[in-house]
Homo-oligomer: A and B are copies of this chain.
Amino acid sequence: MTPRRRSTTLTDPQIKVLKVIEEYQNTNGFPPSIRDIQDMGKFSSTSVVNYYLEQLETMGHIKRSGHVSRGIRLVRPFSDLAQSASRTIQNVRESVQQVLSIPVMGRIFASEPVHVPQSDFPYLDAESVVNVARSMLPAREKVEELFALEVNGDSMIDAMVNDGDIVIMKPAKDVHNGDLVAIWLRDKDETTLKYFFLEDGKVRLQPANP
In the complex, the answer to whether B77 meets A91 with C-beta atoms within 8 Å is no
In the complex, the answer to whether B124 meets A73 with C-beta atoms within 8 Å is no
Known: A99-B97, A101-B92, A102-B92. A82 touches B120 (CB 8 A): no
Per-residue 0/1 for A66-98: is the Cβ within 8 Å of any B Cβ (1 yes, 0 no)? 001111110001111111111111111111111
Give the residues in chain B near A77, CB-CB below 8 Å: 98, 131
A127-161 interface with B by 8 A CB criterion? 129, 131, 133-134, 136, 139-147
Alpha-carbon gap, A184 to B81, bound state (A):
27
Known: A28-B65, A120-B89, A125-B80. A96 touches B94 (CB 8 A): no
In the complex, the answer to whether A30 meets B73 with C-beta atoms within 8 Å is yes
In the complex, the answer to whether A78 meets B133 with C-beta atoms within 8 Å is no
- By CB atoms of chain B within 10 A, which of A28, A31, A93 has the most? A93
In the complex, the answer to whether A82 meets B126 with C-beta atoms within 8 Å is yes
- Asked if A33 is an interface residue, CB under 8 A from chain B, the answer is yes
Nearest-Cβ distance from residue A62 to partner chain B, whole angstroms: 10
Give the residues in chain B near A141, CB-CB below 8 Å: 26
* Chain A positions near chain B (C-beta within 8 angstroms): 26-31, 33, 63, 65, 68-73, 77-103, 120, 122-126, 129, 131, 133-134, 136, 139-147
Q: List 17 A-B contacts (CB under 8 A).
A: A29-B140, A30-B72, A69-B69, A70-B70, A77-B98, A77-B131, A83-B123, A84-B123, A86-B123, A87-B122, A88-B123, A90-B103, A92-B101, A92-B102, A92-B103, A97-B99, A131-B136
